[in-house]
Amino acid sequence: MAVTRNLWHHAYVNIRRRLLLIFVALLATERAASSHELQSVGVAPIVAVITDRSGTGEVAGGGVEADFAAWLAGFRAAELSKGVPATALDTVLKGLHYSSRVVELDRAQPDDSGRTASFADYVDLRVEPVRISRGDAVRGSLTTEFAANERSTGVPAAIVLGIWGMESSFGAVTGNFDVPRSLATLAFDGRRRDLFTHELEATVSIVARGLIERDRLTGSWAGAMGQPQFLPSSYLKFARDADHDGRVDIWNSRADVALSIATYLGEGGWQRGQGWGLSVIVPPGFDRDRVRNLILPTTCVRVYAKHSRWLAIGDWRRLGFVSATGWPDDRTLATLVEPDGPAGRAFLTFGNFRVLLGYNCSNFYALSVGLLGDAIH
């Protein structure tokens, strides 16, 4: 009986969900029509979404596809009611369909899958000879640009190269997913609906402003674009036309990529003249409760939970910590980060480390950015 009740319950929930989507789409369409912006293409997205824009043949079953079409029509009509041009909306949305592959990849992220990894394994796969060699070549080809970027933003070449290498291995891996399709699928899926709806809106704005052609909007399954893997909203805010060719091209222009990353970090609070951190040796028998952070984090909780409280470098030295590469000024504040726990590597990280976490809130990622940048000459 319990199984039967559950089946009826799931069927009831699915029916309610479909009816709600249809109602929202019809209501939004009516609103758009009343504003005289729907014009003759008003129902085009509903008809066109079944087309496989990517050419992969991956089209979802009729039920999910119909729900996705209704959601997409509702999104379009809601944007029309805000004054977004119909031509830009149709350019971005026409031909989109639901991607089960994108949802599968989203569900497979470590936070959701329960998978565990060690920093030692993670960093060895990323701070490695091929990536370092590519970084050396990029640094050599953009010497003048890196110097100018550091003067204007305060962000050194090593850190820009660390981000660049971690995000796309200097353009070798940028992703070939259709960005609007990925964003629409993830917004419809609902796990992080507000985030991905906002990014889909930003994508439409990119096209409406003529910043890049629709067919160039390719990137990762999560909608991150180009060599710095910017989400569309970050592209609008931080991407720069460094080579002054009239295009903000983070896909092919290395000069644009370098300045765009530096601008992102500079506006994120990077402190000029301060590094990201350094590797240290923890004294034997050190009692970590002595430096435990008593202030609970409210954002990026699992990441910041691995940080100690702030102490000046002079205090860390008096506690017996050792650095093989020298020390900054004794007054510099730093937190202890041991990504694999007491048995693994240890780092003292400065305020700029938090800026790297703003790019991707992962201790593994931010530490690897710093270490990769340090390894590039």
pLDDT tens digit sequence for 284-302: 999 999 999 999 899 999 9
Other C-beta atoms lying within 10 Å of the C-beta of residue 84:
18
What pLDDT does residue 109 have? Answer: 63
* Separation between Cα atoms, residue 61 and residue 201, nearest integer Å: 26
What pLDDT does residue 116 have? Answer: 61
What pLDDT does residue 8 have? Answer: 43
What pLDDT does residue 191 have? Answer: 85
Sign of CA dihedral 153, 156, 160, 166: negative
What pLDDT does residue 62 have? Answer: 63
What pLDDT does residue 117 have? Answer: 82
In what helix (H) or strand (E) does residue 352 lie, and over which residues does it extend? Answer: helix 351-359
CA-nearest of 2, 67, 72, 81 to 37 is 81
Reported as a single tens digit per residue, the pLDDT across 304-344 is: 999 999 999 999 999 999 998 999 999 999 999 999 999 99
Q: For the chain, which ranges sit under pLDDT 70?
A: 1-62, 109-116
Helix ranges (H only) for 94-219 are 100-107, 110-113, 119-126, 129-141, 143-153, 157-168, 179-189, 193-208
Contact call for residues 255 and 242 (beta carbons, < 8 A): yes
State the distance between the two ends of the chain, measured CA to CA, in whole angstroms: 69
Contact call for residues 103 and 187 (beta carbons, < 8 A): no
What pLDDT does residue 7 have? Answer: 39
